[in-house]
Amino acid sequence: MASLDGIKDRLTLLARYVRLTMKSWFQYRLDAVLRSGAVFLRESAGIIVIYLSLRRFGDINGWNMAELLFLFSFIFLSYGLFILLFTGLRDFEQLIQTGQFDRFLLRPRNLLGQVIVWDADYFAAIGQGGLGLVLFIGSAARVGIDWSIGKTLACACFLAGAVLIQAAIFLLTASASFFFVKTGNLREILYYNARKFAGYPISIFPKLIQAVMIYVVPFAFINYFPSQYFLGRPDMAQYWRGFLYLSPLVGLGLFGLALLAWRHGINNYASTGT
């Protein structure tokens, strides 16, 4: 019973954090709409460039435009969900540099829970998530996916796994901030650079990059293997078929390892004194 009360208390606190943050971010509604729209248009520009390029070449390793947009949709949709749920991990470095993290230590609440809901970026969540949803609905219709109950549940599990994988990557870089303070370059390498590769089928890259995308920074489980589950492109033949189903397990496993790194970082944390 005590554990249930604790869970209820944490969920209540989370709801309050979210409500206060939304009031702050959306105090000026027109500005909120314009900023969310700006994120949507900024990310759409990259998609338009790819679209115009593919009109000339036709396809990439057998993937046509609709299939590539379906591949992209998992990135944007899962990132929008990640931002909605875990923004604080993305910007954690600022808390360490400014000393604001010390305030969290004084509060009788779960540290990670406080960080996760800190200063949630709803504009990015709406802009990127909205673009992902548009791409997902449009491309799924064009490639002719038959949405049975099983496929719908599988898609939900894949998205959950994709969100956890991204949360784990940012949690690992956040944990590194306890030791190195500035981890922007590490975050750039582990996430943003890897994400650039993930916008295309990993089968077009050299074997070394494919191995990194599968076993080191597992972006392939964010969008490539989930997309292959629905599309079944021929280039999947070069990989173990079990990869198609592993996104949720990879997400849980990687997030579990990131939690261990977080706890180790907390135990060795020394304030910057700012």
Confirm if 158 and 248 have CB atoms less than 8 A apart: yes
Q: What pLDDT sits at residue 206?
A: 94
The ranges assigned to domains in the chain are 27-267
Q: Is the pLDDT of residue 117 over 80?
A: no
Helices (H), the chain: 2-25, 29-57, 65-90, 92-98, 101-105, 111-116, 122-143, 149-180, 184-187, 194-198, 207-211, 224-231, 247-267
Contact 111, 104 (CB under 8 A): yes
Q: What is the pTM of this model?
A: 0.85
Q: How many residues does the chain have?
A: 274
Condensed to tens digits (0 to 9), the pLDDT of residues 71-82 reads 999 999 999 899
> Among 72-86, 109-123, 167-181, 184-198, whose mean pLDDT is lowest?
109-123
Closest CA to 135 of 56, 217, 223, 6: 223
Q: CA gyration radius for the chain?
A: 20
Answer yes or no: is pLDDT of 202 > 50.
Answer: yes
Average pLDDT over the chain, rounded to an integer: 83
Rounded CA separation 232/241 (Å): 10
Lowest mean pLDDT across 9-23, 50-64, 81-95: 9-23
158-170: average pLDDT: 95
Provide the pLDDT confidence category of residue 130 given band limits of 50, 70 and 90.
confident
Out of 2-16, 43-57, 133-147, the most confident range is: 133-147
Closest listed residue to residue 70, CA positions, set 151, 161, 164, 134: 134
Instruction: Say how many C-beta atoms besides its own lie within 10 A of residue 249's C-beta.
Output: 13
Give the integer Cα–Cα distance in Å for 77 and 222.
10
**pLDDT score at 1:** 45
